[in-house]
Chain A
């Protein structure tokens, strides 16, 4: 696996990267670092600039300006030198209609400089890794969407890149394949890869990524470890309360409580956003029971990436613009 000599230096560095499409600025003076061993998640709504950023990092799109350094190489000035370090999987992985899986991988293994036994063995290794051994000699065009995705993932890993750029890698995968993908990416991260994963399946990101970047309108509005981000969200605690019978009366009672910010009613269940601490939460439960409401369960819901994103996005919208950092 290609490595930079300076271990402390991020494998992916972008400085002030801007991408314009006519009057639209897709990526706005974006600065981002991803270190070896890091799996960074890129989250954002449609049109946030995720794919543009991915394509810039993959050297497939020239930014208006900015600096992109991949594995210590100025990727804009010397894209060919950076290519052996990059593995890129686009959001709609397509395969040629006239090659088998093996032929497809052999072609790219050859293009990355592998020859002879090394080429054959590496292709077999990657096919096994993505669970496509049974389809080695099948025509790539006959594969299902999920299998094509696995095939392209195998192609992405062929040359053992130190930087993996995966745009919606799990969107077409079945649950088992998703688990395999997660394990594979974790293993590659442990080996020192820097991985950037873009996805709209947010729950998956919190399971997979060590850090997340939340993008909106071409800017990174939040960046950091998921736990740190959760801590940054002042007072954001969610509780789910299950009750016997109708929850309407309890909802009315809760809305009057000083630490309850909002109440969302779902049949016999209530979801509340609570701003108090643990003592105040315990007091709230006591008050609820004392008031005669029959509580079955009172549980704190862990805040996921999805909640973070929605919270940030709605905060941004309330401020009259995108989500603000």
Chain B
């Protein structure tokens, strides 16, 4: 382990090549000049505005001056650097240079480090240009060195996280332009869209960026800023993350969370570096990752439910909003993981041939080519547990109303979730991307559209139209919580009996979909098995068989 770490920090020819390629005088000087001008302007604007008006002393002004510097550094490293890495990776892949790198005896870890720091060499150099200004702020502003270190630790941790994701995007995107735009879109997503879930009880999502640390430090270091920030942020809530009743310091939580996500991305990169044929994640890792995700969700949501003040911010439909957000996050994660770990028909057939060649009854379940049903069941069970814990916690903290329908309705979402996940898995295993598409369109979209049309045409009543939409997973999370929440607008139309019947019906549909897609999947697998049986396969000795996918790196198992 230690030798691997020291190898990483040794001379890395990919970093050297990156520096040579990206810091050529002719191209770098214009960028550097531009950077000096923008940084000087940004810093002086903040500094002089603070001192010039006589509002702040030099110390305070220098602290204020640090803020635009961080924004500029963020734009250069996070925004430009991420796009650059993604585009460069696609170019290298398309030109086959990635294959050349694959064939060198450097360890995959060393290669990833080489690309991670070599490709954005110019962005790191531009960031370095701003450092004299940071030094000025530190000295004149008398900022404690540990505070600055804390800020930059989280900053660079998120830079590495985004750059790693950009590398993955570069390995899958079709063109450099798609990768560039996609990677920058992802930065927007992480900074603007995902943190929006934070206010819904999923506080951990906000800590995937440097923003919470930045806000907390700014509020502590600059007088009067906290009052201004309070208009946009709950600074106190950001300072400490409530996780299963434990208060975790925001920087520590950021580093832990970003470290966890970065490690996962590095595992994906490691697998893809080794061979583009490999699935992005192994089945074992995917289930463990989903478990970790649910742990984070439950850890953040339960204290949120316990806090009357924070829960009240969600408004009168609080439980519905939280439940639906939980469904969106969990379902996205589960479907994504199932999609990347389920073998295509071709891969499955490949696995059958391999097993037949080595006279094995079946391949080990963890191999990429092996069916993923058992693992999907694992994901479904973990999600069902998460659903149950959240609903039980909500019931415990009296966020639900079980007086009319009884507490047994609390478990319906979990049952529905399991059936839904398994039916999606069967659709994916049967028809691959086309199966997911058909499932999305015919099971999730069409019933909703049909219900709307029937209602608008005045053919059926509102209640009946709602019954038409019950197969759809898009509305199912709403119908499922109807028996246990008070939705004042609906109360007149839905009596307790209707609400319970609707919830039960919602649960039955995915079971039906599961039965249909499982049958189709079975037929397809039988067909593939018959095809493979008709092959002539040469006999082999058992010594040739490798139970794990080829490769000599321990991380590959992940």
Residues B105 and A106 in contact, CB atoms below 8 Å apart = no
Interface residues on chain A, number (Cβ under 8 Å): 49
Residues A107 and B17 in contact, CB atoms below 8 Å apart = yes
Partner pick for B11 among A77, A81, A115, CB 8 A cutoff: A115
Contacts of A93 in B (CB 8 A): 96
Residues B95 and A16 in contact, CB atoms below 8 Å apart = no
What CA separation (Å) do A93 and B100 show in the bound complex?
Answer: 10
Interface residues on B, range: 35 or more
Residues B11 and A83 in contact, CB atoms below 8 Å apart = no
- Closest Cβ–Cβ distance, residue A64 to chain B (whole Å): 5
Q: Which of B182-217 contact A (CB under 8 A)?
A: none
A-B contact count (CB 8 A): 114
Residues B538 and A106 in contact, CB atoms below 8 Å apart = no
Q: Given A79-B550, A111-B14, verify A60-B22 contact (CB < 8 Å).
A: no
B92 at the interface (CB under 8 A from A): yes
B223 at the interface (CB under 8 A from A): no
B13 at the interface (CB under 8 A from A): yes
What CA separation (Å) do A263 and B346 show in the bound complex?
Answer: 48
- Closest Cβ–Cβ distance, residue A303 to chain B (whole Å): 33
Residues A83 and B96 in contact, CB atoms below 8 Å apart = no
Q: A95-121 CB contact bits vs B (8 Å, 1 = yes)?
A: 111111001101111111101000000
What CA separation (Å) do A60 and B272 show in the bound complex?
Answer: 11
Residues A80 and B105 in contact, CB atoms below 8 Å apart = yes
Residues B353 and A20 in contact, CB atoms below 8 Å apart = yes
A307 at the interface (CB under 8 A from B): no
Identify the stretch in A84-92, A290-298, A315-323 within 8 Å (CB) of chain B at 4 or more residues. A84-92
Contacts of B17 in A (CB 8 A): 99, 103-104, 106-107
What CA separation (Å) do A163 and B203 show in the bound complex?
Answer: 55
A67 at the interface (CB under 8 A from B): yes
- Closest Cβ–Cβ distance, residue A100 to chain B (whole Å): 8
Residues A99 and B21 in contact, CB atoms below 8 Å apart = yes
What CA separation (Å) do A65 and B357 show in the bound complex?
Answer: 7
Q: Which of B82-109 contact A (CB under 8 A)?
A: 91-92, 95-97, 99-107
Q: Given A62-B277, A107-B14, A112-B105, verify A96-B97 contact (CB < 8 Å).
A: yes
Closest to A155 in B: B100
A59 at the interface (CB under 8 A from B): yes
What CA separation (Å) do A59 and B273 show in the bound complex?
Answer: 12
Q: Which of A20-60 contact B (CB under 8 A)?
A: 20-23, 29, 58-60
A residues near B (Cβ < 8 Å) are 15-16, 18, 20-23, 29, 58-62, 64-67, 76-81, 83-84, 86, 88, 90, 92-100, 103-104, 106-113, 115, 155
B residues near A (Cβ < 8 Å) are 11, 13-14, 16-17, 20-22, 91-92, 95-97, 99-107, 274-275, 277, 346, 349-350, 353-354, 357-358, 536-538, 540, 544, 546, 549-553
5 examples of A-B residue contacts, CB within 8 angstroms: A20-B346, A79-B551, A94-B97, A103-B17, A103-B21
